[in-house]
Chain A
Amino acid sequence: MKLNQEQLAEIRVYIFATPRFRETYNELYDHIVNALEELDGEFNIALVAEIVTDDFGGFSKIAEQEVLYQKQVIKKYTRLIGTEMLNSFKFPGILGNFCLLFFCIGIYIAGIKLNLNIKPLYKGLYIIATIPLIFYLFKRYIADRKHIKASIKYEFLHLSWMLAFCICQVLFLGVYHANFFNITPTVQLIVLSISFFAASIFIRAFVKLYFKKINVLTV
């Protein structure tokens, strides 16, 4: 059967409430329309209910599968960001890492010999840590503002900025500000340099992944 705009709208309304994410909703909608177009006879919304129940196991099953899918998406992006981080150690990315390493060694030497004030470097680390948050807010509230449903990718972005921010907070409070671990200024400087190096690699991988995979239509 060939569906008209009114019937398509009726299908969209019928399935709208259950899927939390637009990726699941779009896939479900496309599947139902394809299945209906294969059928003969007159359109009836009961046919949609039948497809949802018989083929997908009902709306409750769709909701269950969506939770599982969200976990798999997080796993996928975690794997991809890991791959991007490893790729930064291959040519030509490794050149950038060498520059970063020399910069961190420079901070360490300057800190030891010139008694450098390292507080601005912690602020720098905080600025780096806010980059995933800026991307997350931009994506969710500006780039995707026209979408009614949330994207399944938001959770990964959310976790990324939380992770970066929490690590910075631990470093700032635990190592620099309160010095819970009672470590010497030299060790503080080493921890800071390593953190700066690791955070930069993470952020560069995050930005690459964002433009390659996250800021695109597909999952």
Chain B
Amino acid sequence: MAINNDLFKGTLQTIILKLLAENERMYGYEITQKVKQITKGDLLLKEGALYPTLHKLESDGLLETSTMVVDNRLRKYYALSENGEVEVLNKLQEAKNFIHNLELLLNFKPSF
């Protein structure tokens, strides 16, 4: 079952930072494919949301960029900056707390 994409818009920064923490550097298309692969196609990260978020994180100093020529075209890579490495831990903790509170609020019960 596909998940409503609106649900994960608020955690997009956290998802991107976490993926970059696990991979040294990634380019835009690679990030969308990684999300698709991990969630088995349940979550589709649209480019219209991805690039503005990447650019925002870059302007906030959480990401660093580099460019490489691949197959005769320029490819822009994103990697965590020093500040980004610290921020990813804060964002993950924030997400963990949020999920915990959501569980309490929505009163999830085990399905078994």
Chain A contact residues, CB within 8 Å of chain B: 23, 26-27, 29-31, 33-35, 38, 55-57, 61, 65, 68-69, 72-73, 75-76, 79, 216-219
Contacts and interface: CB of A to CB of B under 8 A. Distances in A.
Contacts of A218: 65-67, 76
Interface in B24-41: 27-29, 33
Interface of B: 27-29, 33, 46-48, 51-52, 55-56, 58-59, 61, 65-67, 70-71, 73-76
A98 to B, nearest CB: 28
Contact of B73 (A33, A55, A65, A76): A33
Contacts, number: 63
A106 B51 CA distance: 52
A38 B27 CA distance: 15
What does DSSP make chain A's interface, helix, strand, loop or mixed? helix
A108 B14 CA distance: 53
A55 B48 contact: yes
B73 A75 contact: no
Contact of A68 (B46, B52, B66, B71): B52
A30 B46 CA distance: 15
B59 A72 contact: yes
Contacts of B73: 26, 29-30, 33
14 contacts: A23-B76, A26-B73, A27-B28, A27-B76, A29-B73, A30-B70, A30-B73, A30-B74, A55-B46, A68-B55, A69-B51, A75-B59, A216-B67, A218-B76
A72 B76 CA distance: 17
A26 B74 contact: yes
A69 B47 contact: no
